[in-house]
Copies of this chain bind each other. A is one copy, B any other.
């Protein structure tokens, strides 16, 4: 089959991998309809984080083509959303909804396992992981929104969930990438009364507003903190969503948060330590976050997509195909695109 291959920093190309086969009776083989490039893929692309040579891409939707003997609920022909990380569904962490911490789980597209930026994927624990989309006719935009649930929308939602965003809250979102934009959608979905987006890019500001941002703060660092404080009468926000992963973004998030508030942190950390005592303890501010349990969130978010409340697929502002995967990466790397979608196959063929 055709599949994107990671060959080293800035060397992402279309190549060949063996067609996947059923290995475990709980497996399914999914024909990928859409995949995409994640912000975390860019870190491999840029050589900041290491990645094994081989398969890449962990977000996809597709059509079930084959199932193992023990697969009961998932049927051939189903349109399914895959969470970016699979899990066994039976351990204590899975039962508590923290699927990323499943001891039997794993990642798609890690060099060895099939990736979402290819034609087919072997999906382990198919009944547990693949979330079925109800039968129906869907537009390309709806499909893009289903695809967003594979990772980015769940990650933004995890920021809001971890920060405990609730009805009436004032929320600041630090980061205007696809995750930050998804965080805005999540804050609105959870009933935030005011959403302050930190963004200096006009196209992203526009999308932030369409997603529910009530205020835009183009400043950065201390000036951004001052601007948010001014907007909130010197009090700060109930929750700040940290959707970047740098020390600077985390400081900004902490410093705009009011006493008793929370920082929801989902930006993959480029820092190790944080000034917890000064930034958090002495201000009675908390911090929670980590890698999103996508499988846990997909059903709730799928309902919101189906009833038209949210349209997270709008974060994909570059739509291309496997042949142009190099450009899909380059456009994101150069910030010409927020997030790149790869159309791999038609639903019906």
Q: Which A positions have Cβ atoms within 8 angstroms of B? A: 92-93, 96-98, 100-101, 162, 233, 235, 258-260, 262, 265, 269, 271-278, 280-291, 293
What copy number does this chain have within its complex? 2
Among B101, B269, B276, B288, point to the contact of A274 (Cβ < 8 A).
Answer: B276
Prevailing SS type, chain A contact patch: mixed
Q: Is B278 a contact of A289 with CB atoms below 8 Å? A: no
Given contact pairs A92-B235, A101-B283, A262 touches B277 in the complex (Cβ within 8 A):
no
Q: Is A281 a contact of B273 with CB atoms below 8 Å? A: no
Q: Is B275 a contact of A273 with CB atoms below 8 Å? A: yes
Per the bound structure, the CA–CA distance linking A186 and B281 in Å amounts to 20
Q: Say how far A72's CB is from chain B's closest CB, in angstroms.
A: 28
- Across the two chains, which residue of chain B brings its CB closest to A97? B260
Give every chain B residue within 8 A of A285 (Cβ-Cβ). Answer: 288, 290
Q: Say how far A283's CB is from chain B's closest CB, in angstroms.
A: 7
Per the bound structure, the CA–CA distance linking A274 and B272 in Å amounts to 8
Per the bound structure, the CA–CA distance linking A100 and B282 in Å amounts to 10
Which of A262, A276, A287 neighbours the largest number of chain B CB atoms within 10 Å of its CB? A276
Per the bound structure, the CA–CA distance linking A105 and B273 in Å amounts to 32
Give every chain B residue within 8 A of A100 (Cβ-Cβ). Answer: 259, 284
